[in-house]
Amino acid sequence: METIDLSLLIIQLGVGLTFAAHGAQKLFGWWGGPGREGWQQGVAHMGFRPAALFAPAAALTELGGGLLLAAGFVTPIAAAGLVAMAIAIIGMVHWPNGFSNANGGIEFPLLLGLGAAAVGIAGAGAFSVDRLAGIAFDPTVRVAFVLAGVAVGLVAVAIPRLRPERAASTA
């Protein structure tokens, strides 16, 4: 066993299970989360339409992507979804609050997104479903998936801002 594999496992579990817990809060209301209805209202408030589509998509990305990352299964794909979520979370909620997590800033989602990106680019280590199943992604493909996640996240931040009614209300 190489120490890099143990390090990757720690990051996979920490980042993946944290994202999954946040998805479970949104879907099931666990750990003081908003549940489906509250999350859908929050997504609508952020300007995503139709909220009934975007809310479960976001929550399932966090829950499913987090579990996939934790297990190290289709790791670059899972990482891409989580990177997109981190960027959307930062851009839609945390950016105006600065850096510090104590003020609701970008610190926490930034760290989760960077962790997901690092695992996605490195690929899952020896302790992963990918390794057990013989699934290997070329390094260029791993980077491409993470960059695609960045692009999707940026588009997600732009979508509500491009809506005519939101643009008029912020003018």
Residue 140: which domain range? 3-170
**Structure confidence at residue 167 (pLDDT):** 47
Amino acid in position 143? V
Residue 54: CB atoms within 10 A of its CB come to 21
Alpha-carbon gap, residue 112 to 149, rounded angstroms: 14
Instruction: Write out pLDDT tens, residues 140-159.
Output: 999 999 999 999 999 999 98
Residue located via tokens 């994202």? 19
Predicted confidence band at 2 (pLDDT cuts at 50, 70, 90)? confident
Q: Is the pLDDT of residue 124 over 70?
A: yes
Q: How many domains does the chain have?
A: 1
Predicted confidence band at 162 (pLDDT cuts at 50, 70, 90)? confident
Question: Is the pTM higher than 0.85?
Answer: yes
Residue 25: CB atoms within 10 A of its CB come to 20
Alpha-carbon gap, residue 99 to 113, rounded angstroms: 14
Alpha-carbon gap, residue 3 to 8, rounded angstroms: 9
Query: From the centroid of its chain, how far is CA 105?
Result: 16
